Amino acid sequence: MTAETSALPANLPIGVFDSGVGGLTVLRALRQALPAEDFLYLGDTARLPYGTKSGSTVARYALQTTRVLVDIGVKMLVVACNTASSVAMPGLCAAYPGLPCTGVIEPGAAAACGCAPRGRIAVIATGGTVRGAAYQGAILRRRPEATICSRPAQLFVSLAEEGWTDGQIVTDIARRYLDPLMAEFPEGGPDCLVLGCTHFPVLARAIQAVLPEGVRLIDSAETTARWVAEELAARGLLRPGSDLPGAAGAAGATPGPGTVPTKGTVRFFATDDPERFAKVGEIFLGESIRPADVSLVDL
């Protein structure tokens, strides 16, 4: 444990950010794994998409969003955006050396390697993530013999933000992206397909439907949540009650005095249109979000 980390109180929230609502798929897994923890979630909706922007711009945005969360007070940062995870981690670690911090690419790569008996791994992500080849690096460090083919699938971000998760248009776009990607692999296709963007899991059913049989979908959310739980435990930063798996309670409920919290709170922030964030965000979070619980922030 670093000197700075030991000064962080365990009752601070965990900070999570993404370019928009996609990172709510990670928040959902985090809340399931760590029901007693409080969270701050920031969606940089004013500047979405990140995936079409240059690495230096996204790295700058990531520092700005993190600054907001750190100023409020967080004990750990989760970069719930693959595009930002692929370019911003060194800058974030340098700016906040005492703050435990994880992205989603390393956990996603670890999960993919565990589901690839033949070492054949396909990746779809934003243009920025594919350009930066961060998944290749993270996978090859674990499985140097792996065959990895990647493709940008940026339109999936727009579909997901629009709340269009099924239907003919989604199927047609999925085929257009995935048929050529599958054809890059030898007979039988890949072992798994990494959903290398936190917006993509809400399209999982439509994506799975156009894949050859047996190709497993990898969503880094659950692995990330496990990593966060382990990291907090290792640093003695778990909130009391976090070790009670399956603890239930209403979202946002405040525990009574002297009781162990069983369900932490979430405060949401968006850089544009909080109402839209609440409406579309529900699909990703899997629980309702009241517009009144989403605050507008200016970076």
- Residues lying near ligand DGL in the complex (CB under 6 A): 18-20, 22, 48-51, 81-83, 126, 129, 157, 197-199
Which residue type is seen at 215? Answer: V
Q: How far apart are CA 54 and CA 75, in angstroms?
A: 29
Q: Which is nearer to ligand DGL, 35 or 103 (CB)?
A: 103
Among residues 81, 101, 113, 192, the one annotated as catalytic is 81
Residue with tokens 């946002």: 252
Number of alpha carbons in the 13 Å side-chain half-sphere of residue 108: 35
Closest CA to 100 of 108, 110, 89: 89
CB of 255 to ligand DGL, least distance (A): 32
Q: What share of the chain is helix, strand, coil (3-state, %, to 5)?
A: 45, 15, 40
Among residues 113, 149, 192, 197, the one annotated as catalytic is 197
Q: How far apart are CA 216 and CA 235, in angstroms?
A: 33
Closest CA to 185 of 113, 118, 112: 118
Q: Which is nearer to ligand DGL, 156 or 185 (CB)?
A: 156
Q: How far apart are CA 64 and CA 59, in angstroms?
A: 9
Active site residue 197: yes
CB of 38 to ligand DGL, least distance (A): 23
Active site residue 81: yes
CB of 295 to ligand DGL, least distance (A): 20
CB of 260 to ligand DGL, least distance (A): 34
Instruction: List C-alpha distances in Å: 257 to 149, 166, 248, 260.
Output: 54, 45, 18, 9
Q: Which is nearer to ligand DGL, 189 or 196 (CB)?
A: 196
Q: Which residue has its beta carbon closest to ligand DGL?
A: 51
CB of 268 to ligand DGL, least distance (A): 16
Q: How far apart are CA 88 and CA 62, in angstroms?
A: 6
Q: Point out the residues that are catalytic.
A: 81, 197
